[in-house]
Amino acid sequence: MNTKIRALMGACALSALATAALAETTITVATVNNGDMVRMQGLMDDFYAKHPDIKVDWVTLEENVLRQKVTTDIATKGGQYDVMTIGTYEAPIWGKQGWLLPLEFDAAYDVDDLLPAIRGGLTVDGKLYAAPFYGESSMIMYRTDLMEAAGLTMPAEPTWDDVKAAAAAMTDRDNEIYGICLRGKAGWGENMAFLSAMANSYGAKWFDMEWNPQFDGAAWKETLTDYLDMMTNYGPPGASNNGFNENLALFQQGHCGMWIDATVAASFVTNPNDSTVADRVGFALAPNKAGIAKHGNWLWAWNLAIPAGTQKAEAAKTFVEWATSKDYTALVAEHEGWANVPPGTRTSLYENPEYQKVPFAAMTLNSINAADPTNPTVDPVPYVGVQFVAIPEFQGIGTAVGQQFSAALAGTTSADDALAAAQALTTREMKKAGYIK
C-alpha cells in the first residue's frame, strides 16, 4: 500500500467522523465480477473523500447471475438497486421501455468525448441511457514466435483465408499447440457472440427486413462450415465447452497460435505474471471474407445505468459520473498503471501519449471503430447490434441456436442439421413473439 492511499484513507476516516452527523445516502450498486469493476471497488476511497455523504453497497456477481437478477428487478420494478451494470444489449431495450433514467451530465464530463460507436449503442431517441464504464471489440491475438517459425507474417487486416492458412501452419498437435482457439460454449454471449460477428463478415445476417430468420441461406452455411472446419482441424480438444476464460487459460499457457476474442484479453495475455507468452503476442484486426467490407469484430460495453424507480437518483448519478469520468481513468492510471485503465470508452484516452505506449491500444481503438452496431451487416437489417440482436427475445433464441452450433462442434450433430434446427426454432420463437405470421 503506498503512502498516498494511506493518506487518503486517513483523510477519509477523518471526514467520515466529521460528517457523521450529515444525512448519509446509501446506494446499492449491482455489478459484474470482471477485473475493471473489482478494481473500482478498491479505489472507492477517492469517491468517499469527494462525496462523504454517499455510501455505496456493492453487489458483485458473475455475469449470468447478475443479468438474471437485475432484469427481474427492473422488469418487476422491485427497486433493489440504485445503479445497475448492464451491457450494450440491455441498454437500448430498457431505455426504450422507459425503465432507465436518461443521463445528462455537465460540461466537465465531456459527453462528446465518448467513442461514437459505443455512445450510439447506448442512445435511444437522442438520449443517453447508460454511461459506458469500459468498452471492447474483438480482435486477433496471435503468437509472433509461432508465425515466424512457420515463415508467415500476419497482415494488419487478414482475411479468413489468411487465418485458416496460419492456423494450419502453426498447429502442432504433438506439442499441444493448436492453430486457433475460438469460443464454442453455448450461449448468446458466448459462441453466438463470436459466430454472429463472424457471420457478418461472411455477408450473413440474423433476420431480413421482414424479420425472417436467415439460417437457411448460403452465407450462414459457409460461416458455420468454415468455423467447424477450422476448429476440428486446428482447434483444441473440448472446444465446445470453451468460453472466454477457457481460451484465455489456453492462450496464456502457450497452447494457442491464434485467438479471436475480446480486446480486453490483450491486457491479460501480455501480463507476464499470468501469461507464459506475454512477450510474444501480436494483434491484428478481426478477419473478413475476401471481398466483404464487414469485419468479424463485435462491440460490447459494460455500462452503468440508473433504474427509473430509484429514490436516490441524485446520489446514483453522482456515482455514475465519478466512475465513468476522465478523472477516474487518471486515478486508475496513477495507482495501477496505464495498461489497467478501463479501455474503450473515450477518445481522449486514445489521444493520450501515455496510453499510446500500451501495445494493444491502437488495435483496440481500430477494432472498436470498425464495428458499427447500427449498421452491422452487409445487407440492411431491422435490428441494432453487431453480435446480438437488440430485441428482448434474443437471449433465449441466441442461447438455443448457440446450443445447436455447440452440438455441431462437439460432433453430435451435423452443420446442416444444426442450421435447420436453428432456422426452425428461431422461426417458431419469432412467430410466437408476433414478428412474423
Partner 1 sequence: MARAVSSRRKALVTVIAWTIGLAIFFPILWTAILSFKSEGNAIASPLTVLTTPFTLESYETVQERSNYFGHFWNSVVISLGSTLLALVIAIPAAWAMAFVPGRRTKDLLMWMLSTKMMPAVGVLVPIYLIFRDLGLLDTRTGLVVVLMLMNLPIVVWMLYTYFREIPGEILEAARMDGATLKDELIHVLTPMAVPGIASTLLLNIILAWNEAFWTLNLTAAKAAPLTAFIASYSSPEGLFYAKLSAASTLAIAPILILGWFSQKQLVRGLTFGAVK
Partner 2 sequence: MSTQASRTAARLMISPAVLLLLGWMIIPLGMTLWFSLQRYNLLMPGMESFTGFDNYTYFLTDPAFGAAIFNTLALVLGVLTITTVGGLLLALLLDQPFWGQGVVRVLVIAPFFVMPTVSALVWKNMFMNPVNGVFAHLAKSVGLQPYDFLSQSPLASIVLIVSWQWLPFATLILLTALQSLDSEQLEAAEMDGAGPISRFVHVMLPHLARAITVVVLIQTIFLLSTFAEILVTTNGGPGTASTTLTYLVYIQSLLQYDVGTGAAGGIIAVILANIVAIFLMRMIGKNLEA
Judged by the rule CB under 8 A, the positions of this chain that interact with partner 2 are 64, 68, 71-72, 75-76, 93, 97, 185-187, 236-238, 240-241, 246, 249-250, 253, 255, 392-393, 395-396, 399-400, 402-404, 406-407, 409-410, 412-413, 421, 424-425, 428, 432-433
Q: E strand or H helix at 86, and its extent?
A: strand 83-87
Q: How many CB atoms lie within 10 A of CB 7?
A: 11
Choose between 15 and 413: whose C-beta lies nearer to partner 2. Answer: 413
Query: Which partner from the list partner 2, partner 1, none does 71 bind, CB cut-off 5 to 8 Å by kind?
Result: partner 2
Residue 240's binding partner among partner 1, partner 2, none (Cβ under 5 to 8 angstroms by kind) is partner 2
78 binds partner 1 (CB under 8 A): yes
User: By CB under 8 A, which span of 203-211, 217-225, 244-252, 353-361 interacts with partner 1?
Assistant: 244-252
- How many C-alpha atoms does 54 have within 13 Å on its Cβ side? 24
Sorted by sequence, the CB contacts under 8 Å of residue 337 that are 6+ apart come out as none
Examine residue 76 and tell whether it contacts partner 1 (CB under 8 A): yes
CA dihedral 63, 139, 274, 187 (to 10 degrees): 30
Smallest distance, Å, CB 254 to partner 1? Answer: 13
Nearest to 408 by CA among 199, 184, 145: 184
Q: Is 207 in the site for partner 1 (CB under 8 A)?
A: no
Q: Which does 127 bind (CB under 5 to 8 A by kind): partner 2, partner 1, none?
A: none
The candidate with the shortest Cα–Cα distance to 51, out of 328, 295, 247, is 328
Say whether residue 149 binds partner 1 (CB under 8 A): no
Q: For cell 440474423, what's the residue?
A: 206
Residue 57 interacts with partner 1 (CB under 8 A)?
yes
First to last CA, the chain: 63
Taking only Cα atoms into account, the Rg of the chain, rounded to an integer number of angstroms, comes to: 22
The option from partner 2, partner 1, none interacting with 303 (CB < 5 to 8 A, set by class) reads: none
Structural contact between residues 176 and 352, judged by C-beta atoms closer than 8 angstroms:
no
CB of 65 to partner 1, least distance (A): 5
Among 5, 9, 44, 79, binds partner 1 (CB under 8 A): 79
Helix, coil or strand: residue 315:
helix
Dihedral pair phi/psi, residue 387, rounded to 5°: -100, 10
Q: Residues interacting with partner 1, by CB under 8 A?
A: 28, 30, 33-35, 38, 41-42, 57-63, 65, 68-69, 72-73, 76-81, 243-245, 248-249, 252-253, 264-265, 268, 273-274
